[in-house]
Amino acid sequence: MVSRLPIGVSACVLVLVIVAPCFCAANLGLPGDNPAVHYRLAWTDSLKWSNVVSIEDFAGQSIEQRLEKAQQAVAEEGGGVVYFPAGAYTFAESIRIRSGIIIRAARPQGTSDARQEGYEPPTRFEFPKYEPTFEGQGRPIETAYKGIYLEDPERASDCGIVNVSINRGHIDFQEGPDHRCGRNRLVYGCVLRNAAVADPRVPDTKRGQHAWQRFTHRHHAAVTVKSSENVRIANNRLPKSGDDSFAMKGYLLERKPFDVVFDYDNRPGLYINDYGPGGKIKNEADAACENNTGYESIE
């Protein structure tokens, strides 16, 4: 027996299409090559460059939410790249990169050598600007001085950041307890401006300093990478900042007033370790800072 619809009533077939992120760089027209291939390092070749998703494929109320979804998707596929096309991305909070994840941005136009004046990646990460107030408790340090960290410094491996212009943020790939940390960490092709951290020891109210006083953390580098095996900080640029530095009149030192500047360049540029858990890094040839340019670099 065949059932028929009444005259004037048509059948409607609902087709549900679920669109999942594609992880094949070739199919998406996204970069899937190793940007550091010219260093001829087997460990950078082994990173999952071709397993890539674009941040544009992930929705969210903030860029932080979108990045978290993208990292989750890549992690579920065994690691790879979250790609940021050219443009400005404004972050309210620090970024925490998962193990196996590389944040990669669009290739710089023109020169690809960060030592050249014209080098400028077209993808920009903007973090909050510190707006000082010179009364009372001052503006809290936590409102700014954000950075790019590892979610699990003790275990995070095969991770990094590539070709991003960063304003008001630093890169800090640290170690875990007892100097334990992951391996295969890369910072390549980035430009950092206003990359400083406020010294947590200032103000020293026991010495009579104003609660609003701030000072640059002179031992915190713009880029810090620690690793148990294989680490490379290469082809990065730290141009003079200046535009966010601010003067403080009446800054108390030994209870005497001075005019003092919070200088965003008054800090080391690059720091790389040579020790891992249990002793020296396993392969010293794969622990290097090279082809970087900027101010006050520790290499």
Gap between the Cα atoms of 102 and 150, Å rounded? 11
Closest to 105 (Cα-Cα) out of 127, 124, 80: 124
Average pLDDT over residues 278-298: 60
Gap between the Cα atoms of 113 and 235, Å rounded? 7
Question: How many percent of the chain have pLDDT more than 90?
Answer: 78
Higher per-residue pLDDT: 188 or 16: 188
- Burial class of residue 114 in the structure, from the number of CB atoms within 10 Å of its CB (0-12 exposed, 13-18 middle, 19+ buried): buried
Higher per-residue pLDDT: 177 or 167: 167
What is the average pLDDT value for the chain, to the nearest integer?
Answer: 88
pLDDT for residue 10: 41
Beta bridge partners of 191: 165, 237
pLDDT tens for 273-282 read 855 444 455 5
pLDDT for residue 200: 95
pLDDT tens for 24-40 read 665 568 999 999 999 99
pLDDT at residue 293 tops 60? yes
* Range of lowest pLDDT (90-104, 159-173, 276-290): 276-290
pLDDT for residue 290: 78
Using DSSP bridges, classify how beta strands 256-262 and 183-188 pair: parallel, antiparallel or unpaired: unpaired
The per-type count for the chain, helices as H runs and strands as E runs, is 3, 22
pLDDT for residue 278: 45
pLDDT for residue 14: 35
pTM, two decimals, is 0.87
Give the type of residue at 69. K
Contact by Cβ (8 Å): 247, 295: no
Beta bridge partners of 258: 251
* Range of lowest pLDDT (71-85, 116-130, 173-187, 275-289): 275-289
Quick one: pLDDT band at residue 2, thresholds 50, 70, 90?
very low
pLDDT at residue 132 tops 90? yes
Please list, in sequence order, all residues whose beta carbon lies within 8 angstroms of the beta carbon of residue 36, skipping any fewer than 6 positions away.
44, 186, 188, 232, 234
pLDDT tens for 43-89 read 999 999 999 999 999 999 999 999 999 999 999 999 999 999 999 99
Quick one: pLDDT band at residue 291, thresholds 50, 70, 90?
confident
Closest to 164 (Cα-Cα) out of 129, 195, 145, 189: 189
Closest to 289 (Cα-Cα) out of 188, 177, 173, 218: 188
* Range of lowest pLDDT (12-26, 155-169, 265-279): 12-26
pLDDT for residue 161: 98
